[in-house]
Amino acid sequence: MRAPSVTRRLIADFAGRPEPTTSRQVADNVTEREREVLTLVGRGMSNTEIAAELFITVATVKTYVTRLIAKLGARDRVQLVIIAYETGLVAPPR
C-alpha cells in the first residue's frame, strides 16, 4: 500500500516550508527603499514602472528585487507580491 509513503512525503514537504513572512520580519530585514520597491511590486508594477515612480534606473530596481527575494526567502517575484499583501504593505481593492 502506498498511502503511508505518500503521507510521509506530504508531511515532510509541509514541514520543510518556511513560515509566512510577517510584517515584523519585513520591518526588521528591509530598508525603507526596499519597502517602497516591495510595495510597488505588490501593486503589480513592472520594473520599468517602478523605476519611473522612484526616479531610479531599471537596473537598480532589478537589484532591489533580487535583494528582496534573498532577504525575505521568496522564490520569485510572485511570492514578493504575496508577502506584500500578507504583511499589509498592499491591501486588496475594495
4 assigned to some structural domain: no
Task: Tell me: pLDDT of 14 over 60.
Answer: no
74 assigned to some structural domain: yes
The total number of structural domains that make up the chain:
1
- Output the pLDDT for position 27: 73
Task: Tell me: pLDDT of 60 over 70.
Answer: yes
93 assigned to some structural domain: no
Going by pLDDT thresholds of 50, 70 and 90, the confidence category of residue 13 is low
42 assigned to some structural domain: yes
Q: What is the CATH number of the domain that holds 53?
A: 1.10.10.10
Residue pointed to by grid coordinates 514578493: 80
Range of the domain at 29: 20-86
Cβ contact 93:86 at 8 Å: no
Q: Is the pTM of this model over 0.85?
A: no
57 assigned to some structural domain: yes
Going by pLDDT thresholds of 50, 70 and 90, the confidence category of residue 28 is confident
| Exposed / middle / buried, residue 57 (Cβ in 10 Å: 0-12, 13-18, 19+) | exposed
In this predicted model, what pLDDT tens digit does every residue of 33-52 receive, in sequence order? 999 999 999 999 999 999 99
- Output the pLDDT for position 76: 96
69 assigned to some structural domain: yes
1 assigned to some structural domain: no
The set of cell numbers assigned to 28 is: 526588521
Task: Tell me: pLDDT of 2 over 60.
Answer: no
CA distance linking residue 5 with residue 50, whole number of Å: 46
